[in-house]
Amino acid sequence: MNKWINNNNFAKILAIAVSIILWSMVHLNNDNTPTPTTKIETRIIENVKVQPYGLDEKKYILSAMDTDRVRIEIKGKKMDLISAFTGEYRIKLDLTNAKVGTSTLPLSVDLPKGLEVVNIQPSSVTVNIEERNTATFPVSIVTKGTPAEGYLLGKIAPQPATVKVTLPESQLREVAKVQGIMTIDGEDATMKDKRVKLSVYDKQGQVIEGAVLDPPSVSIDVPITPPYKEVPIEMQYTGKLPEGLVISKAQANVSKVKLYGSQEALAGVKSYSNINVDLSKITTAGTVVLPVDLTPPPGFEKIEPSSLQVEITTVSNSQRVINDIPITIKNDSGGSLQATITNPASKTMSLALNGAPGLLNTLTKNDIQLIASIDGLKPGTHEVTLQVILPRYVSRADPGTPLIATIEIKETANKPTVTNPDTGTGGNEADKNPGAGPEEQVGTDTTDPTENQGTTGDTGENGGN
């Protein structure tokens, strides 16, 4: 016996036999023990959100769904029901194969482990699928607020000027505008490179939600400038024309400029005369265009445009004598004086004039003024140098020779009179317009290099001729 006990194989066989006996005893007892019944409960979950998926949103949009929440009844062990969170109940709507238009599709339920669905109400939903369409619309920018006092808002040009809007066709037809809003309250300088988010509005002025914009924002510059005043230009001339040439016509490509500055500076400006045209750049007869840079006068911030072009036509000089030009006496000082022209007796003079043939041929004596000013003179006889006022681009042939008239002044108790001579019959009265257009009018053109508003011996000479 001791020999068997000490044998390893015998010990192994004995252990296996004991294990089999114990296993048999346990399982025979379990088969005879009654198994308790597991309790199953139900639960109702309200307002579970329907979760659509599978739709190609680049091409289509779910524009309508008759309900987006459902009621579900589930069952399971009490512990499973208690441990499940509301967010774990998922109601799914598969739109992968949905067609454009209206259709009714079933719902599927995704529940936590150990739970089963008993009922779902409703078990299907009706949806409407629309195809997305794209159209291009102009961008408009509206401002909110006002600039600083006295400053002006210029025109805003968005970049890009148009954007693409993608919406269902039914909504795309309702688009009225694409608009951005920019606040400018209190600003006193131009706002550069600002990004503005855009919104799409319908015909009732309401924002259309869900619109896809490309791009969704635009870049803008908001011009905010000081006050400005638009004034006429007056051209000045420097240099001399070649010998034998005269100006027939000179015209700038703009007639007015904008000056920007304070209200005080603007109140005192009536014209812009800092325009110097260099006649020495003209070498032959004909038409040339001369560029001129413009700078703001002292006290002003900016001028627009910053440059202009002057078209000048020159021709060979011509000469003509105009006879019987009346002399007019001028007395701005008032007083009880009576003035009479005693020499020349005709109270008229003749003038030899230089200018373009076309201008001289249409010139009449009434286009020229000879003025004798007696301001400050006392009673007696006086030799008065006449002021000569000529049409533009016309000059005297003998500018160095002063024109003298003898004036006799008497004191009288009566109201002073102005002596006007007999106009006579000399000169050509057929045409009062010395030129080919509005720019040729006497004494009105601010671009006149020969306009003479001076006093003694003033010649109104063209380009120094």
Let me know if 304 is exposed, middle or buried by CB neighbors in 10 A (0-12, 13-18, 19+): middle
CATH of residue 303's domain is: 2.170.120.40
| Domain containing residue 15 | 2-32
Identify whether 60 is part of a domain: no
Of 192, 225, 258, the position where a domain reaches its end is 225
Identify whether 398 is part of a domain: yes
405 shares its domain with 343: yes
Q: How far apart are CA 270 and CA 3, in angstroms?
A: 141
46 shares its domain with 100: yes
Of 80, 97, 122, the position where a domain reaches its end is 122
282 shares its domain with 346: no
Are the CB atoms for 230 and 257 separated by under 8 Å? yes
Tokens 């007796």 found at: 345
Q: What is the pLDDT along the chain (465 residues), one digit of tens a residue?
A: 556 556 677 677 777 887 888 777 766 555 555 445 567 888 888 888 899 998 888 888 888 899 989 998 888 887 777 777 767 778 899 988 888 889 999 998 888 887 888 888 898 999 998 888 899 999 999 999 999 887 889 899 999 999 999 998 888 999 999 999 999 999 988 899 999 999 999 999 999 998 999 999 999 999 988 888 899 999 999 999 998 899 989 999 999 999 998 888 888 899 999 999 999 999 999 999 999 999 999 989 899 999 999 999 999 999 999 999 999 999 877 667 889 999 999 999 999 999 999 889 999 999 999 999 998 888 999 999 999 999 988 999 898 899 999 999 988 765 544 555 544 433 333 333 333 333 333 332 333 343 333 333 333 333 333
CATH of residue 393's domain is: 2.170.120.30
Our count of domains for the chain comes to 5
153: number of Cβ within 10 Å: 14
326 shares its domain with 308: no
How many angstroms separate the Cα of 291 from the Cα of each of 276, 347, 447?
10, 45, 15
232 shares its domain with 221: no
Identify whether 161 is part of a domain: yes
Identify whether 268 is part of a domain: yes
Q: Is 251 helix (H, G, I), strand (E, B) or coil?
A: strand
118 shares its domain with 205: no
Are the CB atoms for 402 and 383 separated by under 8 Å? no
Are the CB atoms for 81 and 115 separated by under 8 Å? yes
- Give the Cα-Cα-Cα angle 12, 13, 15 (nearest 5 degrees): 65
267 shares its domain with 294: yes
Identify whether 456 is part of a domain: no
422 shares its domain with 326: yes
Identify whether 397 is part of a domain: yes
Q: How far apart are CA 164 and CA 167, in angstroms?
A: 10
pLDDT single digits (tens) 110-153: 888 878 888 888 989 999 988 888 999 999 999 999 998 878 89
Identify whether 45 is part of a domain: yes
pLDDT single digits (tens) 152-207: 898 999 999 999 999 988 889 999 999 999 999 999 888 999 999 999 999 999 99
427 shares its domain with 409: yes
Of 316, 346, 375, the position where a domain reaches its end is 316
Identify whether 464 is part of a domain: no
